[in-house]
A and B are shown apart, each in its own frame.
Chain A
Amino acid sequence: MKDGVNGVALAVFIFFFLAVTIIGFMASRWRKAENEASLDEWGLGGRSFGTWVTWFLLGGDLYTAYTFVAVPAAIYAAGAAGFFAVPYTILVYPLIFTFLPRLWSVSHKHGYVTTSDFVRGRFGSKGLSLAVALTGILATMPYIALQLVGIQAVLDVMGVGGGETTHWFIKDLPLLIAFAVLAAYTYSSGLRAPALIAFVKDGLIYLVIAVAIIYIPIKLGGFDDIFAKASEAFAQPNPATGQPRGSLVPGDMGQWGYATLALGSALALFMYPHSITATLSSRSREVIRRNTTILPLYSLMLGLLALLGFMAIAAGIKVDNGQLAIPQLFETMFPDWFAGVAFAAIGIGALVPAAIMSIAAANLFTRNIYKDFIKPDATPAQETRVSKLVSLFVKVGALLFVLTMDKTVAINFQLLGGIWILQTMPALVGGLFTRWFHRWALIAGWAVGMLYGTVAAYGVASPTQKHFGGSSKEIPGIGEIGYIGLTAFVLNLVVVVVLTFVLNAMKAPAGVDETSPSDYTADVGDPGVKAELPPATAGAPGGH
C-alpha cells in the first residue's frame, strides 16, 4: 500500500490541520480570563462551560482515535470481540448519572480541581491522594499514546510515514511533527484550545461518518454482502495458529471476556483525569445529568464506525497492521479530496483528546504532587508554569509508549490504562458515597490491585510481543478469560473491605473528613457553592 504520497489528500489534510492550529492559538484570546496565570483558568477554562460546550468537550475526549481507528481495527482483526466498545459506552452513562453529580457538588463546595484533591479532603490522607495522582498520570499516558497511533496511521496511509525499511527517524518524523504542534498549542491555550477545536472536529467527524456509513455500504453492495464476505474471511484459519481468524458472534469462550471488557472499560472511563476535568468544567450539577441524556448519540456513531471494520474486510483491504485498515478503506473508497477530509477528521479527532488528557494529567501533578509535596507555597504563576511543563512531559511519556510498544493492537493501550485507573475506584467512588473505608485499607487495596494488574498484563504474550500483549487473562477461581482490570479491581476491593474491618477494630486513626453529607448534593445557588470563578467568562451564562 506504499504507492507513494497521496498529494490531494495530504493537501486537504494539511489545510485542516493548519486551520485547527490557528484556531488553537486564537483560542487563548477567546472569552479571555482576567487572571490567566491561575491554574483554574488555564486548566478548567474558568469552569464556565454550559451544556453545549461541555457536550462537545466530552464528546471530544470520549470519542477519539479509539473510535475511528482502534475499535474498527479490533473488529477488522477479530470480529465480534472488538464490538465490546458499544456496550462499554452504553454503560458509561448510567454510571456518570449516578456518580459524577456528587463529585461536582463536593468539588465546587470545596474548590477541588482533581480527584486527588477530593480524596485528600475526604480521607485526610496525603498518601492516598498521591497514589490517586500517580495512577491518573500513569494511566493517561497509554491513552494519549493511542491517539498518537491514530495520527500516525493516517500519515502512514497518506504515504508520508515511509515504509518498514526506512530509517526510524524518517518513519516517525510525521508523528513527531504532529506531536510538536499538539504540544505547542496546548501549552499556549490550555483547555480553551480543545473546546474551540472540538467544534471544528465534531463538524468534520459527523460529516465523515455520515458519508462513510451511507456511501461505503452502498458501494459494497449492502450489509448482506458485507457480512457474508466478513464471515467467510473470519472462517479462514490463521496460518500461524491454525485457529479461525475471528467470528461474527462471540462464542461461549469469549462471552466473559466481552462482558468484563465492557464493564471494566465503562467503570474506568469516568475516573480518568480528563473525564473528571470535563465534568468539573460544567456549569452546574444538573448539566452533568442532562448531558447523560444526549451524549449516547456518540455511542451510536461508535457502533456504526465499528462496522467499518467489516467493510474493510468486504472491500478486500489487506494490511498487516490492523490500525491502518480504516484509513486505507477511506483512501480506497473515497475520492482523494474527501479522503483528505476524513484523515483530517481522524487526525484532529486524536489531537483534541490528547490535549485534554495531558492537561488533566498536568493538573493532577501540579495540585497533588508539586504543591503537596514539593513546593507548598507555590504562587499561582508558578503552578501554571509547572502544569504547562508537565503536560509536555506527559506527552513525551505517551510518545515513549508509542515508540516502544506494539502498535498493531492499539486498543490495548487504552485497556492497559484502564487496568491502572480502575484501582482508584474504591477511594473515589467509595468515598463519594461512604466514609466507612479506612484510608490505609484503601492504600493497601490500591497497591495490591496495581501490582496484580501490572504483573498480569506484563505476563500476557501476543504473537507480536512477549509482554503487555493483551489485557485479558484467566480470572483466578472462575476459570474464564476476563479483563485483567476488573479482576484486579475486585481483588483491590476485597483487600479494602477486609483491612477496613481490621483497622476499625484496632481503632487506627481514620483521618479528618473535611466534607459533610450535604456537600454531596449541593448545587449552584446553595450556600458556599463556588459556582464560577470571577467574571472573565461573564459573557457566557445564559448564552447556551
Chain B
Amino acid sequence: MPEETDAKPPTVTPMRVVIAVCLIAPFVAMLWVSSYAKVEPTFIGIPFFYWYQMLWVLISTALTMIAYKLWQRDQRSRKGGASA
C-alpha cells in the first residue's frame, strides 16, 4: 500500500503494483513460518531456519532498494517540472 493519494493521474499504475509487491513480499515470506522451520539443508553448518532468514535480510534490502528507485521515478514523472 504505497501512498495512493494523488488523484489526478491513475492511482494504480503497473509501476506502483511492482512497488507494492516489493514491499509486501517480505511479509509473506517471513510470516509463513512453516515454510522455513526446518534444519536441512544446512549452510556451513548453520541450519536452514537461520541462514534462510538472514538471506532474507539481503533480499528484502534489495527489494526495498528497488521500491525506492521505482518510487523516485514515479514521483519524477508525476511532478514533471513543477516544483524544485
CB-based contact B57/A97 at 8 Å:
no
Docked complex Cα distance between A94 and B20 (Å): 10
Distance between Cα atoms of A223 and B6 in the complex (Å): 51
B49 engages A222 (CB within 8 Å): no
Q: List residues of A (157-200) whose CB comes within 8 Å of B's CBs.
A: none
Which chain B residues border A297 with CB–CB below 8 Å? 61
Q: Are the CB atoms of B49 and A90 closer together than 8 Å? A: no
Interface: B12 (CB within 8 A): no
Which residues of chain A in 518-534 are interfacial with respect to chain B, using CB atoms and an 8 Å cutoff? Answer: 520-521, 525-526
B68 contacts A521, CB within 8 Å? no
Q: Judging by beta carbons under 8 Å apart, are A296 and B47 in contact?
A: no
- Interface size classification for chain B: 35 or more
B window 11-57: CB within 8 A of A: 22-24, 26-27, 30-34, 37-39, 42, 44-47, 49-50, 53-54, 56-57
CA distance A300 to B51 in the complex (A): 10
Shortest CB distance A74–B (Å): 14
Contact between B37 and A223 (Cβ–Cβ < 8 Å)? no
Contacting residues, chain A, for B23 (C-beta < 8 A):
94, 97-98
Is A292 at the interface (CB under 8 A from chain B)?
yes
Distance in Å: Cβ of A10 to nearest Cβ of chain B: 34
Query: Given A91-B27, A249-B39, A517-B5 in contact, is the A258-B33 Cβ separation under 8 Å?
Result: yes
Residues of B close to A98: CB separation below 8 A: 1-3, 23
User: Given the complex, which residues of B lie within 8 Å of A251, measured CB to CB?
Assistant: 37
> In the docked arrangement, what's the CA distance between A97 and B65, Å?
10
Residue from B23, B32, B34, B64 having most chain A Cβ neighbours under 10 A: B64
Chain A residue numbers with a CB within 8 Å of B50 are 83, 303, 307
**Contacting residues, chain B, for A289 (C-beta < 8 A):** 68, 71
Bound CA span A249–B65, Å: 30
Residues of B within 8 A of A520 (CB): 3, 5
Over the window 241-266 of chain A, the binary record of Cβ atoms lying under 8 Å from chain B Cβ atoms (1 yes, 0 no) is 00000001111100100110011000
Q: Given A222-B45, A290-B68, answer yes or no on A250-B37 (Cβ-Cβ < 8 Å).
A: yes
Tell yes or no: A224 within 8 A of B by CB. yes
Q: A279-298, CB under 8 A of B: which get 1 and which 0?
A: 00000001001101100110
Complex Cα–Cα for A377 and B74 (A)? 45
- For A296, list chain B residues within 8 Å (CB): 57-58, 60-61, 64
Tell me the residues in window 69-122 of chain A with beta carbons closer than 8 Å to chain B beta carbons: 80, 83, 86-87, 89-91, 93-94, 97-98, 101-102
Counting CB contacts under 8 A, is B83 at the interface?
yes
- Please, which residue of chain B has its CB at the minimum distance from the CB of A80? B49
Quick one: given A90-B57, A222-B45, A249-B39, are A255 and B33 in contact (CB under 8 Å)?
Answer: yes
Alpha-carbon separation in the docked complex, A224 to B44 (Å): 7
Q: Is the CB of B26 within 8 A of A249?
A: no
* Complexed CA–CA distance, A227 and B30 (Å): 22
- Chain B residues contacting A307 (CB-CB under 8 Å) are 46, 50
Minimum distance in angstroms from A223 CB to a CB of chain B: 3
Which B residue's beta carbon lies closest to that of A250? B37
A21 lies within 8 A of chain B by Cβ: no
Residues of chain A with a CB closer than 8 A to B6's CB: 521
Contacts of B71 in A (CB 8 A): 289
- Give A289 to B73 CA distance when docked, in angstroms: 13
A226 proximal to B (CB < 8 A): yes
28 A-B pairs (CB sep. < 8 Å): A80-B37, A80-B49, A83-B49, A83-B50, A83-B53, A86-B57, A87-B30, A87-B53, A90-B53, A90-B60, A94-B23, A97-B68, A98-B3, A248-B49, A249-B37, A249-B49, A255-B33, A259-B30, A262-B31, A286-B72, A289-B71, A290-B68, A293-B61, A293-B64, A296-B64, A520-B3, A521-B6, A525-B84
Name B's A-contacting residues (CB within 8 A): 1-3, 5-6, 22-24, 26-27, 30-34, 37-39, 42, 44-47, 49-50, 53-54, 56-58, 60-61, 63-65, 67-68, 71-72, 83-84
* 9 pairs of A and B residues whose beta carbons are closest in the complex: A223-B45, A224-B45, A87-B30, A255-B33, A296-B61, A94-B23, A303-B54, A293-B65, A259-B31
